[in-house]
Amino acid sequence: MDSTAPGAPSSDPSGHLLPAGGKGKGTVNVAASPFSPRGEGARRADEGAPSATKTIKQDVRKHRPAKTAQARNLRQTETEEEYRLWSDLRARRLNGYKFVRQVPLGPFIVDFLCREERLIVEIDGFQHAESVADKRRTEWLNANGYSVLRFWNQQILRERRSVLETILAAIEGRLEFSAKLPDFYSPAEQR
Protein backbone atom coordinates (compact mmCIF):
# COMPACT_ATOMS: atom_id res chain seq x y z
CA MET A 1 0.00 0.00 0.00
CA ASP A 2 1.43 3.34 -1.07
CA SER A 3 0.38 6.34 0.98
CA THR A 4 2.11 8.91 -1.18
CA ALA A 5 0.95 12.46 -0.59
CA PRO A 6 1.86 15.51 -2.64
CA GLY A 7 5.34 16.60 -1.64
CA ALA A 8 6.27 13.15 -0.33
CA PRO A 9 9.09 11.23 -1.97
CA SER A 10 8.07 8.56 -4.42
CA SER A 11 8.95 4.91 -4.00
CA ASP A 12 9.15 4.22 -7.73
CA PRO A 13 12.26 2.09 -8.35
CA SER A 14 13.06 3.69 -11.73
CA GLY A 15 14.95 6.53 -10.03
CA HIS A 16 13.67 9.23 -12.38
CA LEU A 17 11.36 10.83 -9.86
CA LEU A 18 12.08 13.90 -7.87
CA PRO A 19 12.82 14.07 -4.16
CA ALA A 20 10.31 15.51 -1.75
CA GLY A 21 10.22 19.26 -1.50
CA GLY A 22 8.29 21.67 0.65
CA LYS A 23 6.44 24.70 -0.60
CA GLY A 24 8.57 27.16 1.32
CA LYS A 25 11.98 25.84 0.34
CA GLY A 26 13.00 28.66 -1.95
CA THR A 27 12.03 29.86 -5.36
CA VAL A 28 13.14 28.50 -8.69
CA ASN A 29 14.05 31.46 -10.86
CA VAL A 30 13.99 30.25 -14.42
CA ALA A 31 15.55 32.92 -16.65
CA ALA A 32 13.72 31.75 -19.76
CA SER A 33 10.56 30.55 -18.07
CA PRO A 34 7.93 28.92 -20.29
CA PHE A 35 5.39 29.53 -17.51
CA SER A 36 2.15 31.40 -17.99
CA PRO A 37 0.40 31.81 -14.64
CA ARG A 38 -3.35 31.87 -14.10
CA GLY A 39 -4.99 35.01 -15.28
CA GLU A 40 -5.08 37.66 -12.57
CA GLY A 41 -8.23 39.11 -14.12
CA ALA A 42 -10.10 35.84 -13.67
CA ARG A 43 -8.95 35.60 -10.05
CA ARG A 44 -10.03 39.17 -9.24
CA ALA A 45 -13.39 38.65 -10.97
CA ASP A 46 -13.90 35.47 -8.93
CA GLU A 47 -13.28 37.49 -5.76
CA GLY A 48 -15.85 40.08 -6.82
CA ALA A 49 -13.49 43.00 -7.46
CA PRO A 50 -15.56 45.95 -8.72
CA SER A 51 -13.34 46.81 -11.70
CA ALA A 52 -12.77 43.22 -12.81
CA THR A 53 -14.69 41.83 -15.73
CA LYS A 54 -14.79 38.15 -16.40
CA THR A 55 -14.08 37.18 -19.99
CA ILE A 56 -15.06 33.54 -19.59
CA LYS A 57 -17.67 32.79 -22.22
CA GLN A 58 -17.75 28.99 -22.29
CA ASP A 59 -18.24 26.29 -19.73
CA VAL A 60 -14.91 24.47 -19.51
CA ARG A 61 -16.64 21.27 -18.43
CA LYS A 62 -19.16 21.19 -21.27
CA HIS A 63 -19.10 17.79 -22.98
CA ARG A 64 -18.07 17.99 -26.62
CA PRO A 65 -18.27 14.54 -28.27
CA ALA A 66 -16.02 15.49 -31.19
CA LYS A 67 -13.30 16.71 -28.82
CA THR A 68 -13.56 13.55 -26.74
CA ALA A 69 -13.04 11.38 -29.82
CA GLN A 70 -10.15 13.60 -30.95
CA ALA A 71 -8.51 13.36 -27.50
CA ARG A 72 -8.91 9.58 -27.51
CA ASN A 73 -7.22 9.44 -30.92
CA LEU A 74 -4.36 11.66 -29.69
CA ARG A 75 -3.79 9.33 -26.72
CA GLN A 76 -3.53 6.38 -29.11
CA THR A 77 -1.12 8.15 -31.49
CA GLU A 78 1.16 9.94 -29.04
CA THR A 79 4.58 11.25 -30.00
CA GLU A 80 7.80 9.90 -28.53
CA GLU A 81 8.16 13.04 -26.41
CA GLU A 82 4.63 12.69 -25.04
CA TYR A 83 5.27 9.01 -24.29
CA ARG A 84 8.47 9.78 -22.37
CA LEU A 85 6.99 12.62 -20.31
CA TRP A 86 3.82 10.63 -19.65
CA SER A 87 5.92 7.79 -18.22
CA ASP A 88 7.19 10.28 -15.60
CA LEU A 89 3.82 11.92 -14.84
CA ARG A 90 1.38 9.00 -14.85
CA ALA A 91 0.21 7.10 -11.78
CA ARG A 92 1.15 9.99 -9.44
CA ARG A 93 4.86 9.42 -10.13
CA LEU A 94 5.76 13.10 -9.80
CA ASN A 95 5.69 13.46 -6.00
CA GLY A 96 2.13 12.21 -5.76
CA TYR A 97 0.53 14.76 -8.11
CA LYS A 98 -2.10 13.30 -10.43
CA PHE A 99 -1.88 14.12 -14.14
CA VAL A 100 -4.11 13.16 -17.04
CA ARG A 101 -3.19 13.37 -20.71
CA GLN A 102 -4.87 14.61 -23.88
CA VAL A 103 -7.84 16.15 -22.08
CA PRO A 104 -10.60 18.21 -23.71
CA LEU A 105 -10.76 21.57 -21.94
CA GLY A 106 -13.27 23.99 -23.38
CA PRO A 107 -12.66 24.24 -27.13
CA PHE A 108 -9.11 22.83 -26.78
CA ILE A 109 -7.31 19.60 -26.00
CA VAL A 110 -4.38 19.98 -23.61
CA ASP A 111 -1.41 17.61 -23.53
CA PHE A 112 -1.14 17.08 -19.74
CA LEU A 113 -3.29 18.45 -16.94
CA CYS A 114 -2.94 18.44 -13.16
CA ARG A 115 -6.55 19.27 -12.26
CA GLU A 116 -5.88 19.73 -8.55
CA GLU A 117 -3.31 22.48 -9.18
CA ARG A 118 -4.92 23.74 -12.43
CA LEU A 119 -1.59 23.33 -14.28
CA ILE A 120 -1.37 22.47 -17.97
CA VAL A 121 1.84 21.14 -19.48
CA GLU A 122 2.16 21.47 -23.25
CA ILE A 123 4.83 19.90 -25.46
CA ASP A 124 5.38 21.82 -28.69
CA GLY A 125 7.32 21.30 -31.88
CA PHE A 126 8.98 24.19 -33.69
CA GLN A 127 5.86 24.73 -35.82
CA HIS A 128 4.44 26.44 -32.70
CA ALA A 129 7.28 28.99 -32.40
CA GLU A 130 5.35 32.04 -33.61
CA SER A 131 1.82 30.68 -33.42
CA VAL A 132 -0.87 33.32 -32.89
CA ALA A 133 -3.37 30.51 -32.29
CA ASP A 134 -1.25 29.20 -29.40
CA LYS A 135 -1.16 32.67 -27.84
CA ARG A 136 -4.96 32.92 -28.05
CA ARG A 137 -5.28 29.43 -26.63
CA THR A 138 -3.02 30.35 -23.68
CA GLU A 139 -5.02 33.55 -23.10
CA TRP A 140 -8.25 31.54 -22.97
CA LEU A 141 -6.76 28.94 -20.60
CA ASN A 142 -5.31 31.66 -18.32
CA ALA A 143 -8.65 33.49 -18.25
CA ASN A 144 -10.31 30.25 -17.17
CA GLY A 145 -7.92 29.86 -14.25
CA TYR A 146 -5.28 27.53 -15.65
CA SER A 147 -1.51 28.01 -15.63
CA VAL A 148 0.25 26.89 -18.81
CA LEU A 149 3.76 25.49 -18.90
CA ARG A 150 5.27 24.88 -22.35
CA PHE A 151 8.30 22.85 -23.36
CA TRP A 152 9.90 22.12 -26.71
CA ASN A 153 10.10 18.52 -27.90
CA GLN A 154 13.90 18.57 -27.66
CA GLN A 155 13.76 19.60 -23.99
CA ILE A 156 11.80 16.45 -23.20
CA LEU A 157 14.35 14.27 -24.97
CA ARG A 158 17.53 15.98 -23.71
CA GLU A 159 16.66 17.62 -20.38
CA ARG A 160 13.82 15.58 -18.92
CA ARG A 161 14.96 15.88 -15.31
CA SER A 162 15.08 19.67 -15.65
CA VAL A 163 11.61 19.63 -17.21
CA LEU A 164 10.27 17.58 -14.28
CA GLU A 165 11.90 19.93 -11.78
CA THR A 166 10.30 22.91 -13.55
CA ILE A 167 6.87 21.23 -13.49
CA LEU A 168 7.24 20.47 -9.79
CA ALA A 169 8.37 24.06 -9.08
CA ALA A 170 5.28 25.39 -10.89
CA ILE A 171 2.98 23.07 -8.93
CA GLU A 172 4.52 24.06 -5.61
CA GLY A 173 4.47 27.79 -6.37
CA ARG A 174 8.25 28.12 -6.55
CA LEU A 175 8.41 29.20 -10.19
CA GLU A 176 8.62 32.86 -11.11
CA PHE A 177 7.23 34.01 -14.44
CA SER A 178 9.80 35.69 -16.67
CA ALA A 179 8.39 38.40 -18.94
CA LYS A 180 11.58 38.16 -21.04
CA LEU A 181 10.03 35.42 -23.15
CA PRO A 182 7.99 36.96 -25.96
CA ASP A 183 6.69 33.56 -27.09
CA PHE A 184 4.68 32.95 -23.92
CA TYR A 185 1.76 35.14 -22.98
CA SER A 186 0.49 35.91 -19.53
CA PRO A 187 -2.53 38.16 -19.05
CA ALA A 188 -1.32 39.05 -15.55
CA GLU A 189 1.89 40.50 -17.01
CA GLN A 190 0.06 42.62 -19.60
CA ARG A 191 -1.24 45.21 -17.10
Residue-wise pLDDT for 46-83, tens only, equals 555 555 444 444 566 666 778 888 888 888 989 999 99
Higher pLDDT, 128 or 106: 106
Residue 177 half-sphere exposure toward CB, CA atoms < 13 A? 20
Q: Could you tell me the residue ranges of all domains in the chain?
A: 35-190
User: Which pLDDT score is estimated for 14?
Assistant: 42
Q: Which CATH architecture has domain 35-190?
A: 3-Layer(aba) Sandwich (3.40)
Provide the whole-model pTM.
0.66
Residues 6+ apart with CB under 8 A from 128: 134
User: Which pLDDT score is estimated for 91?
Assistant: 97
DSSP state of 173: T
Burial class (CB in 10 A: 0-12, 13-18, 19+), 43: middle
Q: What is the C-alpha separation between 23 and 189, in angstroms, rounded?
A: 23
